[in-house]
A and B are shown apart, each in its own frame.
Chain A
Amino acid sequence: MPELIRVEHLVKTYYLGEMQVPALKGVDLTIQTGEFVAIMGASGSGKSTFMNILGCLDRPTQGHYYVEGVDISGLSKDQLAQIRNKKIGFVFQSFNLLSRTSALENVELPLFYNGSSARERRQRALDALANVGLQGREHHFPSQLSGGQQQRVAIARSLVNRPSLILADEPTGNLDTRTSLEIMGIFQKLNKGAQITIILVTHEPDIAKYAERHVAFRDGKIIQDTRIKPFQAAEDLARMPATEDEAHP
């Protein structure tokens, strides 16, 4: 499988006045296209900093970061914005949808910044929403949707530009167990079906077990990098006893 991401000796240091705070102290990692990686670690371990750099939201102090062979470290802010737009989809713990904006328009948002036509925007957004099982909810506002549905809108938004990589930062942190399983099921389906690389940041082993590769951070370094046979979220969901949650709109 081709290499999608390679980081070499990545260092990130924050400067708080006179004080230097090292967040990453030399990280090397390679991720192939189609992998489903869970990045784990306690808070302060440097995993958030690492995610920000992977997501092209931040630049490393030292070291190199290659996406599909292109060195990101030297790009300008505008070029980073374009990489984010074309190659990376974000899913956040708090969904980060625009309020008072319909699901459809939320999903269209990334297309708005790459010059797609109105017709194309609409069609691709509808497809992406259908892909996460939200047909019929296109014109709902986030406030009219449940947490799981909001997260699915966010996933549709991350998918709409057909990215090579989805970065999910604690995507189930605000969701109950059943909904979490549904979301993980969607990720697994996208990963297996569409061969989209997924990098998941989580501190819950129960969520990480659906990823096939676990990378653990501590004190700004990778301390563990293992591959496992992942659990299947769809199967686990089927085994769960039916509850009133089924009545979710």
Chain B
Amino acid sequence: MNLPMTFRIAYKALGRNKMRSGLTMLGIIIGVGAVIAMIAIGSGAKARIQEQIASMGSNLLIVLSGSATSGGMRFGSGSVPTLTVEDSKAIAAECSAVKYSAPVLQGVTQVVNGNQNWSTVTFASTPEALLIRDWPVVRGRTVIQSDVEGAAKVCLLGQTVVENLFGDVDPVGQVVRIKQFPFTVIGVLSVKGQTTWGQDQDDVVYVPLTTGQRLLFGQQFPGMVRAISVQATGPDVMNLAEEQIIQLLRQRHRIRANQENDFSVRNLTEAMSAAEESARVMSLLLGAIASISLLVGGIGIMNIMLVSVTERTREIGIRMAVGARGRDILYQFLIEALVLSLIGGVIGIFLGVGASQLIARVFKWPTLISFHALLLSFSFAGGVGVFFGFYPARKAANLDPIEALRYE
């Protein structure tokens, strides 16, 4: 009794009834295919969220200036600038858990290039803002400290703005007008794509903080900013950084113990992590549902193997008469079930990969197929085959040879 021979016998036995073997396999094929497709969908979503977290900048905190109350009417966060450029500098200098801090002014402005114009969000900030967001330029140069000090009339354009104002022309060195002021384009920012909530991150213009203060936003409250972007030194000190910022700003703004903060700190990475977690749960859930279909496929195998054992009772009797032991018969049927499920598993892998590519193309849903998932579902299929093949195989092995030989 040798294994390769047993495999050959199993293969032959299955070949004798192709239609039935194929239908039995179908359960496993669909099961494995579904598991792979579902895991691909889940991990694709997870990967996209992770990508977005990375594009947003890691370990990111946003300090927003406080709300204002005027005549019983409350305005939202950031409606009154209570933060200053000095606050930002203090945060960077005094909070040990903070790596970078950048004051940010922003507003919607009309940007004009010749006869083209485009309304976009303009950020005015220091070079740190781009470091915090991990946002390099792909052409030209980035904003440097001397641009801020000299309030240079230079700007960086996001990809979307470039497309709308310049088309295919290289914008570096060209002059655009923002609120009537001429700005020289010194660089083009790399592509960031969309945020989770569908906002185009590339529809943006960056100018030096001082330039923005003087020419674009600064007239109302000189030296004030609406927000400060902060990057913590690591993911594990996010809460510490938040704590330090709150303490520092309360002190700087002279807020008494019983007074509310005139600013708020938001942990954006945390919100994204929650999204990532929900994607993980979704992927787990999809996988679990798909596993059920694999389980049903396994029950199909058991069903067919039971029929097969009954049908081949005489064959079992003959084999026993010429000297097959119980375990020889057990292995034969077990391996038949295993071969069924493994062949089904291989076909299922192709189906699953094909299905997830179709989903990616038709529904524009990102899918990610990992080798790990393929291996997992393939071995799961094999396990299902052995598990559900065992009962019929044992039934065959325990047959009485005399009765089996007499069976019509």
Contact = CB atoms under 8 A, between A and B. Distances in A.
User: Interface residues of B: mostly helix, strand, loop or mixed?
Assistant: helix
Interface string A54-82: 01011000000000000000000110011
B2 interface: yes
Contact of A92 (B323, B325, B405): B405
B405 to A, nearest CB: 7
B314 interface: yes
Given A96-B314, A115-B2, A110 B322 contact: yes
Q: How many B residues are at the interface, by size bracket?
A: 20 to 34
A218 interface: no
A68 to B, nearest CB: 17
Contacts of A112: 1, 5
Interface string A32-66: 00000000000000000000100101100000000
Interface string B379-406: 0000000000000000000000110010
Interface in A120-165: 157, 161
Contacts of B405: 57, 92, 96
Contact of B322 (A52, A58, A90): A90
Nearest to A113: B323
Most B CB atoms within 10 A — which of A90, A97, A109? Answer: A109
Nearest to B9: A112
Contact of A113 (B16, B315, B322): B322
A110 B323 contact: yes
Contact of A82 (B5, B319, B323, B401): B323
B322 A57 contact: no
A113 B401 CA distance: 16
Contacts of A110: 322-323
Contacts of B227: none
Contacts of B323: 81-82, 84-86, 110, 113-114, 161
Interface residues of A, number: 27
A87 to B, nearest CB: 10
A164 to B, nearest CB: 14
Interface string B303-343: 00000000000110111111111111000000000000000
A78 B1 contact: no
Nearest to A90: B321
A98 interface: yes
Contacts of A84: 320-323
Contacts, number: 60
A98 B315 contact: yes
Contacts of A100: 16
A77 B324 CA distance: 10
Contacts of B315: 98
Contacts of B321: 55, 57, 84, 90, 96
Interface in A89-113: 90, 92, 96-98, 100-101, 109-110, 112-113
A144 to B, nearest CB: 16
A113 B402 contact: no
A109 B319 contact: yes
A91 B405 CA distance: 12
Contacts of A82: 323, 325
Contacts of B401: 57
A57 B404 CA distance: 11
23 contacts: A57-B320, A57-B321, A78-B325, A78-B326, A81-B320, A81-B323, A81-B326, A84-B323, A85-B322, A92-B405, A96-B317, A96-B318, A96-B405, A109-B318, A109-B319, A110-B322, A113-B322, A113-B323, A113-B324, A113-B325, A113-B328, A114-B323, A118-B5
Interface of A: 52, 55, 57-58, 77-78, 81-82, 84-86, 90, 92, 96-98, 100-101, 109-110, 112-115, 118, 157, 161
Given A84-B321, A113-B319, 9 more contacts: A57-B401, A77-B325, A81-B325, A82-B323, A84-B323, A86-B323, A96-B314, A96-B321, A118-B5
